[in-house]
Structure 1
C-alpha cells in the first residue's frame, strides 16, 4: 500500500511505503507548519505524541504484522474505543474532530482533510467537493450521542477501510449495533436502483439535474436496472416515498443538498446507509440503501468513482466454493446472488477431486473427492462469500444430489463447498480432465458447428 500527500497547488509528494510512517507524520506536520492547515473542525495532537504512535506502527510492520490501515493518518472524535480500534489496525490518530464541525462548514472539501487521509465526523455534510463520504448504518460506528458516524476521505476505498476498523458494538453505548446474521454482501451484477422521475427532477437546478441524468446513464451502462420513481413532496423529496422506494429497490440515487428531503435529511431521519459522491461544485450525488446494505452502496459508489476496497465492509462473510451450474453466468448462479452472496475470486482445488457430468436439464457438474485413487485432479471453482444466515438458507434449498461439504484447496487451506453425492455422480461421464466446467462447455460449443457441418 502506497500513501500520497496532496497539496492544493503542488504536485503530489513521492509515495511513502509501509515502513516509513514516521516520515509521513514528519512531512504532514511540516506541511501544516507552512500554512496548509489544520483542517477546519480538527484539533491536532502534539507532534511528539503522534510520532510515538507512528514509531509503534513502524515497529509492528518490521515485526511482520499485517495492518489494514498501516500509516493511515486520521482525525476522529476523542473517544478511547475509537482511537484504540484505529491503533490496532495500524492507523495513526493525528487529531480529533470537533462535534458539529460539519454542520458549521456545511460541506466537505478536499482542504477539509488538510494532509490527513480521513476524518470521522458525527454528521454527514450536505455537500461534498472532491471528498467521498461514507455513512454506515446508524450504530455500526459506536459514537456517543445522537450523531451519525460519517467517514470522509479522498477515495471510497479508504473511507470504507477506516469505517471497518472502528465498526463494532460498544457496550457503553446503548444504540450501537452489530452486523445481523442475514446481512447482504452484494446485490449482484444488476442491482435495482430507484432514481427521481421527470417530475421530481424538474424541482432541481439545471446543473444538478444534468449531473443526475449523467449518473443515471452511467448506472445503466454498468448494468444497473434503473426505475424512475416519484419522490416529490411539498418541500422537496417525500421521506415516506423515499422509504418505500428503498423497500422495493436495492438503492436510491438522489442529489446532495440542504433542502427538506435531501440526502442529508434522508440519512438523519431514516435508518439507512449511504455513500456521498463528490462533484466539483459540491453538489454531488448520494447512493442510499436500506440499513445494513452498506456494501451495496459501496459497490455502486465503486462503479461510479472507480474506487473499491478489496474486502467487503461486513466482516460476517463465510466462504463457499462453487462449481458447475453455480458458477457466474450459469443457471444456478442466481441462487447465490439471491442469497446476497459476493463473488470473491477463483480458486483451484487440491489434486484429488473429480468432476462428473450429471444428466439433467440443463446438464450440471458434480464434484466429488477421489480420495487416494489416481482418477482425481485439480479443479477450478469460484469462491463466494455469504452471511451465516444466508448460507444456512441456501444449503437448506440445495437440490439433490448436491450437498454441502469441505474441499481442500491448492494452497493447503480448506473451505466449505457445493459437492455432489458420490453414488449419483459416479454414474456420469468423467470430466476431470477439463478441470473447469466452463472449459467443458467451450468444448461442446466448438463441437456443435462441426457436427452441423457434417450433417449438411
Structure 2
C-alpha cells in the first residue's frame, strides 16, 4: 500500500462527491467515523501489525450485515440493525479493510437489473441511461466508479456476475458455501453465495481468500476438500457453446465472444464446442419452476403481511410461489439432479466452460416497461451455475454495441483457482496466488521438473508451480539407472556436497498422498533444506541406491547434467 489509510479514505469521499451518484448508497457512513478507523489502522501498521488488507475500502450490499448499520435489503419496512458483522465482513475487517457503507440493490436480491428499489434505479457507471445490472447494483457501480476497492455482493441467479459484465469489472462467484452466508438476508438459501467485485482479479482474489472458511452459523458452509486443484493446466481445455446456444446475443455480442475465444486460444488454451443446452434448461428452473418456493421461504411471510411495503415486481415473484405444492418442489429438485448429471457428462474432460456473462445491455426505460421479460433474458447464462453447484469468474472482454461486454469462466465446485487462472488469460494479469490455504510444498529435482517426462503427474493433479529452488551445500546428486532416467538427491551433511537446483510445486494433501503411495524405489520423500533457510518436503534417494549410480553433483542440477550429456553425445 503506497498511500496511508487516511489518505485513501479522504480520496474515496472526494470521489463520492465528484461522482454524484446518491442512488449507489442506502447507508453511507460519515466520513469522520471512517477516518477515525483509518487513523487507528495507520497506527497499527506503524507498530508492525500484519494486516494483509490494510486500507482496502469496501462497499457492502445492503442484504449483508454490518454491525451498527441498518440492513434493509432495499425494503425500509424490513430494516433491522444487527449487533454483529456477517462473518464475510468481519474477516475483511480483521484483515484491515474499511467499510464505507451499504449499497443499493434489487429489493430482497430479486432481480438482475438494479431498478427494483425504492431508493431508485442504480445507473450504469459508464452509460447512465443503461441499467447497472442487479441485484448487486450499487456494489458493482461503487467499484466501477473508483470509489471502493472491492465490494461485496450476493449471487443466486447471477447477481455477482451480470453487474460486473455491464460495468466492465471483475466478479468472483465462489463455490457455494466457501464464503459463509451467516448474516445475509436469504434470497434462495440453498443457492445463495457471497461474491466480490473488484477492478482486477488479484484484488478480488485476495478478498475471497480472506473470507473463505466454514462458520458455525451457516450449516451449508464448506471447507476446501483435500483433493482441491490449485492450478489450471498450462494448456487448459475449455468448452465453448454452440452457435445456436449464442442466439440471444446481438451480432456485436457474438463477435465479442468470438474474440474472447481467440484470446484464450492465443494464450495456449485449446477449445472445443459442446452442447450447453442442458445447462440453459436447468437455468429456467430457478424462476420458472418450483424452486422459486425458496424465495417465499426467505421473506414471503413478511411480504404477505404487508404487500404494499415491497416493490410490485418483487412482491409478484415471491408471493406467486406461496401456493406451490411440495410435490412440485420435489419433482424439480429431481430434475435438477438429472441436469447435474448431464452437465458432468457434457463437460467431462474440460477444465472450464467459457460463456458470455449476459445477453445484452438494456436501457433503464426498457426494463421499467417490461421488467420481468428483460430480467429473465439477462440470466440466460448465469442462472444455472449455483443450481448445478459450480464456480464462476466474470471478467471484462471488450465491448459490444457500445457497452462493456463480459465473459464468465465456469468450473466445477471447488475448482475456483483453475477458473481464476483461466480468467487471467483474458485480463492479461499474472494468475493470482492460489485461493485455498491447504497446499503442501514439494521440491523436485529430476524427472518431475517442468518439461521433464514425469512433470504431468504434478500438473494432472492440479499442482501449482511456485518457482525455482536451490538446496544448501549439504547434498549430492546421482544419476540413477531408471526408466525414465531420473536422479537421486542424497543428504551428506554440511560442506559435503554442493547446492542443487530444482523447483517448488504446491499441491493438495490428497495429491501428495497419491505421490507417496505410488512412489517407486529407490525414491522417497523427506525434508530438504533450502538455501533460503527453510525445510520443505522433497524427493530424495537412499544412500545405498545412490552409490550404484553416477555422481553428477558437479553440474548443480538435473537439467544442466542432461544438457552436458547431450552435448557430449553430439560432440
Name the TM-score, length of structure 1 as normaliser.
0.88
Matches of 1:265 and 1:420 in 2, distance apart?
A: 52
Matches of 2:497 and 2:456 in 1, distance apart?
A: 29
State the match for 2:369 in structure 1: none
State the match for 1:295 in structure 2: 417
191-200 vs 325-334, which moves further: 191-200
Checking the alignment, whether the CA contact within 8 Å between 1:97 and 1:119 is kept in structure 2 is no
State the match for 1:137 in structure 2: 175
State the match for 1:265 in structure 2: 383
Task: Render the CA deviation track for 1:359-414: whole Å, top value 9, x for unaligned.
Answer: 22332111111124x44111111111111122111211112111110001111111
Matches of 1:243 and 1:96 in 2, distance apart?
A: 38
Checking the alignment, whether the CA contact within 8 Å between 2:168 and 2:405 is kept in structure 1 is no
- Secondary structure (helix, strand or coil) at the match of 1:321 reads strand
Alignment CA distance shift 1:214-1:309 (3 Å): closer
Alignment CA distance shift 1:156-1:39 (3 Å): farther
Task: Render the CA deviation track for 1:157-179: whole Å, top value 9, x for unaligned.
Answer: 11111111111111011111111
Matches of 1:170 and 1:431 in 2, distance apart?
A: 52
Match of 2:47 among 45, 57, 63: 63
Alignment CA distance shift 1:415-1:233 (3 Å): closer
Give yes or no for the alignment of 1:416 onto 2:515: no
Matches of 1:97 and 1:141 in 2, distance apart?
A: 19
- CA drift at 1:31: 2.5
State the match for 2:142 in structure 1: 112
Number of aligned residue pairs: 433
Matches of 2:20 and 2:172 in 1, distance apart?
A: 25
Structure having the higher helix fraction is: 2
Checking the alignment, whether the CA contact within 8 Å between 1:243 and 1:270 is kept in structure 2 is no
State the match for 1:381 in structure 2: 502
Alignment of 1:275-354 (within 5 A): 275-278=393-396, 279-280=398-399, 281-308=403-430, 310-354=432-476
Checking the alignment, whether the CA contact within 8 Å between 1:245 and 1:252 is kept in structure 2 is no
Which structure has the larger Rg over C-alpha atoms? Answer: 2
- CA drift at 1:227: 1.6
- Secondary structure (helix, strand or coil) at the match of 2:520 reads coil
165-174 vs 89-98, which moves further: 89-98
Matches of 2:57 and 2:40 in 1, distance apart?
A: 14
State the match for 1:5 in structure 2: none
- CA drift at 1:262: 3.0
Task: Render the CA deviation track for 1:50-81: whole Å, top value 9, x for unaligned.
Answer: 12221222122212233321211111232412
Match of 1:94 among 96, 100, 109: 100
Matches of 2:498 and 2:346 in 1, distance apart?
A: 49
Alignment CA distance shift 1:190-1:437 (3 Å): same
Alignment CA distance shift 1:94-1:320 (3 Å): same
Alignment CA distance shift 1:335-1:342 (3 Å): same
State the match for 1:11 in structure 2: none
- CA drift at 1:134: 0.6
State the match for 1:126 in structure 2: 162
State the match for 1:363 in structure 2: 485
Matches of 1:367 and 1:314 in 2, distance apart?
A: 30
Task: Render the CA deviation track for 1:299-347: whole Å, top value 9, x for unaligned.
Answer: 0011110224652111111111111101011011111112211111111
Give yes or no for the alignment of 1:31 onto 2:63: no
State the match for 1:396 in structure 2: 517
- CA drift at 1:150: 1.6
Matches of 2:18 and 2:357 in 1, distance apart?
A: 34
Alignment CA distance shift 1:262-1:424 (3 Å): farther
Matches of 2:28 and 2:548 in 1, distance apart?
A: 70
Matches of 1:270 and 1:317 in 2, distance apart?
A: 26
- CA drift at 1:274: 0.5
Give yes or no for the alignment of 1:84 onto 2:202: no
- Secondary structure (helix, strand or coil) at the match of 1:326 reads coil
State the match for 2:74 in structure 1: none
Alignment CA distance shift 1:46-1:104 (3 Å): farther
95-104 vs 309-318, which moves further: 95-104
Alignment CA distance shift 1:394-1:97 (3 Å): farther
Matches of 1:325 and 1:428 in 2, distance apart?
A: 16
392-401 vs 52-61, which moves further: 52-61
State the match for 1:14 in structure 2: none
